[in-house]
């Protein structure tokens, strides 16, 4: 059970991983729509620049440097939100990273660091968020991936963490529903998104990593996240192409497995790697929403837009059907005369 969510301009929204990519795009969009935004990231320097940009534009925000892999840091984010704005209405767990490389080649230290952020960061963020959201209700939004449903080679531990986030999110939702807590729990599942994630990744490959097409803009994910902040929803896929992959993986898993060589090839460019260390153990100083994907980036995802507004989509489809039927009847009548 959950209460009706507030409009975005009346909300306090916490966003982790807010210094780049999806998190930064979501923070800017939320602030532009009137929300009070709490920015969290390991990168204090980039957060400071984002904070200035938002406040200079008339928005309200605070910045809290935090490593989400540490529960004390996550609690500090919640405490700062309550101190500055009186509470939290939506908490977005988004901070994450990836590793490109075969599972057998990646070091234990790199695997452990990835799990600490991608899984434990979500566990800490969710549990801290629930403790705050219980007071007045709201939304918990976890940013997963199509990798929450399917796996792909060269990012094996990333897929493992996203699978784990899905299981954790589903179990937490069940427990909150049993409690009658006024909190909605949503899992957002993006496909390939044009963010700096590949450039920030730890890279064991002898090529620069890339995103398999189709690739979508981060604004589509931000729209899905903020939709979940105001409309209780269980799951939202971002990108019809990614959704097609998950359906194939569920319907024909053996066939999907045989696509692995092609999937591996699509994740590698031809040029040599630039920064193999990435931002796994040390945060990057850039504050950018977009990555450097060299190929075409879709302008929008019609599948995602339809998922967010099913009634409008159905009504439009019915309207088009009735129009087509009327035209056919009219054409048929003319042919008889």
Q: Which domains does the chain have, with CATH numbers?
A: 8-300 (3.40.50.720)
pLDDT band at 329 (very low <50, low <70, confident <90, very high): low
* pLDDT exceeds cutoff 70 at 320: no
Separation between Cα atoms, residue 255 and residue 149, nearest integer Å: 16
Which of 332, 155, 300, 150 has its CA nearest to residue 215? 300
Which of 161, 116, 160, 114 has its CA nearest to residue 142? 161
What is the percent of the chain where pLDDT is above 90? 77
pLDDT of residue 327: 41
pLDDT of residue 324: 43
- Beta bridge partner(s), residue 13: 37, 90
* Cis bond upstream, residue 105 (ω within 30): no
39 touches 12 (CB < 8 A): no
pLDDT of residue 273: 80
Number of H helices, E strands in the chain: 13, 11
117 touches 41 (CB < 8 A): no
pLDDT of residue 105: 97
> What are the φ and ψ backbone dihedral angles of 161, each rounded to 5 degrees?
-70, -35
- Map residue 153 onto helix, strand or coil: coil
Catalytic residues: 158
211's CB contacts (< 8 A; 6+ apart) are 192, 193, 194, 198, 267, 291, 293
pLDDT of residue 159: 98
pLDDT of residue 330: 52
**Counting beta carbons within 10 angstroms of the beta carbon of residue 140, is it exposed (0 to 12), middle (13 to 18) or buried (19 or more)?**
buried
pLDDT of residue 318: 43
- Beta bridge partner(s), residue 222: none
Mean pLDDT, residues 214-234 = 97
- Quick: pLDDT tens for 61-74: 999 999 999 999 99
pLDDT of residue 58: 96
Mean pLDDT, residues 222-231 = 98
Q: Please, what is the end-to-end C-alpha distance for the chain in angstroms?
A: 60
Backbone CA torsion sign across 176, 190, 288, 157:
positive
pLDDT of residue 279: 87
Separation between Cα atoms, residue 167 and residue 184, nearest integer Å: 16
Mean pLDDT, residues 278-284 = 83
Separation between Cα atoms, residue 215 and residue 60, nearest integer Å: 31
- Quick: pLDDT tens for 120-162: 999 999 999 999 999 899 999 999 999 999 999 999 999 999 9
> Helices 218-230 and 21-32 meet at what angle, rounded to 10?
50
* pLDDT exceeds cutoff 50 at 59: yes
């Amino acid at each position: 059970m959950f209460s009706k969510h507030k409009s975005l301009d009346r909300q306090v929204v916490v966003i982790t991983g807010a210094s780049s990519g999806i998190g930064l795009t979501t923070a800017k969009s939320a602030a532009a729509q009137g929300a009070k935004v709490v920015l969290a990231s390991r990168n204090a320097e980039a957060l400071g620049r984002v904070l200035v940009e938002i406040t200079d534009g008339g928005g309200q925000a605070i910045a809290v440097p935090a490593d989400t892999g540490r529960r004390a840091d996550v609690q500090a984010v919640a405490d700062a939100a309550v101190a500055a704005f009186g509470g939290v209405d939506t908490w977005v767990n988004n901070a994450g990273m990836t590793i490109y490389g075969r599972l057998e080649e990646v070091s234990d230290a790199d695997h452990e660091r990835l799990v600490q952020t991608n899984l434990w960061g979500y566990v800490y963020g969710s549990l801290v968020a629930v403790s705050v959201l219980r007071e007045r209700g709201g939304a918990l939004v976890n940013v997963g991936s199509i990798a929450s449903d399917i796996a792909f080679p060269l990012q094996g531990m990333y897929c493992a963490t996203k699978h784990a986030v899905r299981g954790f999110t589903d179990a937490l939702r069940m427990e909150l529903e049993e409690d009658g807590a006024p909190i909605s729990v949503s899992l957002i599942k993006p496909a390939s998104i044009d963010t700096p994630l590949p450039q920030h990744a730890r890279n064991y490959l002898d090529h620069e990593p890339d995103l398999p097409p189709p690739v979508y803009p981060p604004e589509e994910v931000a729209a899905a996240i903020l939709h979940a902040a105001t409309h209780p929803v269980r799951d939202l896929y971002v990108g019809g192409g990614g959704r097609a992959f998950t359906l194939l993986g569920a319907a024909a898993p053996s066939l999907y497995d045989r696509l692995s060589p092609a999937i591996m090839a699509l994740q590698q460019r031809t040029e040599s790697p630039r920064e193999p260390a990435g931002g796994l153990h040390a945060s990057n100083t850039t504050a950018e929403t977009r990555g450097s994907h060299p190929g075409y980036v879709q302008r929008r995802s019609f599948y995602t837009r339809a998922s967010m507004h099913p009634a409008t989509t159905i009504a439009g489809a019915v309207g088009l059907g009735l129009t087509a039927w009327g035209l056919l009847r009219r054409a048929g009548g003319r042919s008889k005369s």
